[in-house]
Structure 1
């Protein structure tokens, strides 16, 4: 009895050590990516403000450094996502079958691609529309002065959440493949999920109706796409199980 308890404790400690190792590798990859992209932060900054009339204003000596670090951080996240996906796969791999290992490994590139698509959607579609709308409201009424911190904080709020939320289909497919989720559960949770997504949309967008709608609609579509993809994976698994039996 004591040997069994000791074995369980050893396995538990081993899992924690393995998890710690994977987290450290991911964090180190992120830091390396931040340092690497920081070299090009000035050029990226110039490209991001190319459409602004004149230069942005800084209110303190550290504002421009903050902007460079934020830019580096966003690109570092994009580079780190595949690394994080591989580390998660390495951690859960011992509990997977050979078929599950091959199938789950295929989702890692999708994570990076969907993150990039989400960032591009936020920056090239949503951000200019919202910014133009807000400029129109302020036209001929107030003197506008854009600071580096406010401008990039606004951009960050409209791009990064989409990069993360666009991961939804790949994550749902992965969890369906592992048997944690299925389309029936997702369909039953539709009302609650819609409510959560709407709350998230309102929280990450400026307080105007147009911005809220521009964010809510793509997120609800993403959820429905996730249900469809989960259904495809689930039905394929059922078909394989029937053949094996």
Structure 2
């Protein structure tokens, strides 16, 4: 019995059918995870070849040109190469992972929900790239400039290791890139009628608190980094509410049109 034909109850042996359905369901999940891991491995291999040019590009940001990086351990260089390769693999695997997630849950969705979810897959990659660009070109230079300025004003000698530099960068940029998926998630859940703008507005205070908490957790322990990440997250939440309102209004218009057609059906005999 395939997952596309999975039924709960309604059979002569419900316990056995449910057990087979769960086994098939877990088998499908394992298959999707294996596909994702294969793509990650391929992306990791590609990332190893791209690591050096990506590294040279990442240290070319204006605020980092005056910083001389050092290696404090024998594995610092290769460790950074592996981390850069993993980031490249993650970027390449994001759209494929979104498609595999859609393929896994699509048997349980209605046709309209299935087509709507599939249309969102390309935007997962686009929003992730926008988040990467925003984190790298906006948030990271500001945070780096602020921290180095404070260090120099205190008269301290700057000696930065390559691990500290890239850990600081990745800690800021990658979570921001992932959190840029928030509007898409909200739109999708609104499309499925799980969320709506009224509920999101009622949850605003709780959501703000959660976003501030996330910003504090994912950023280095300094106020400016927390602030630079929190503000974009709050703006993203409000933008998500706006997009949810757009989707919700279209749903209400479609429901009203369907109700009108049901209330006043067309007369096939009329001319």
Could you tell me the TM-score, scaled by structure 2's length? 0.85
**By how many angstroms is 1:242 displaced?**
2.7
Count matched residues.
245
Q: Give, in whole Å, the separation in 1 of the partners of 2:70 and 2:18.
A: 59
Uncovered stretches (5+) of structure 2, i.e. residues with no partner: 1-10, 260-271
**By how many angstroms is 1:235 displaced?**
2.2
Q: Secondary structure at the match of 1:181?
A: coil
Indicate whether 1:57 and 2:67 are aligned: no
**By how many angstroms is 1:232 displaced?**
1.5
Q: Give, in whole Å, the separation in 2 of the partners of 1:206 and 1:179.
A: 37
Are the aligned partners of 2:68 and 2:159 in contact in 1 as well (CA < 8 Å)?
no
Residues 121-167 of structure 1, C-alpha deviations (whole Å, 9 max, x = no match) = 11101111111111111116111111011000000111001010000
Are the aligned partners of 2:95 and 2:125 in contact in 1 as well (CA < 8 Å)?
yes
**By how many angstroms is 1:71 displaced?**
1.0
User: Which deviates more, 23-32 or 149-158?
Assistant: 23-32
Find the counterpart in structure 2 of residue 107 from structure 1: 120
Are the aligned partners of 2:76 and 2:163 in contact in 1 as well (CA < 8 Å)?
yes
Could you tell me the TM-score, scaled by structure 1's length? 0.94
Find the counterpart in structure 2 of residue 72 from structure 1: 85
Q: Map of 1:228-239 to 2, 5 A cutoff?
A: 228-239=242-253
Find the counterpart in structure 1 of residue 35 from structure 2: 25
Find the counterpart in structure 1 of residue 132 from structure 2: 119
Find the counterpart in structure 1 of residue 265 from structure 2: none
Indicate whether 1:47 and 2:57 are aligned: yes
Bigger radius of gyration: 2
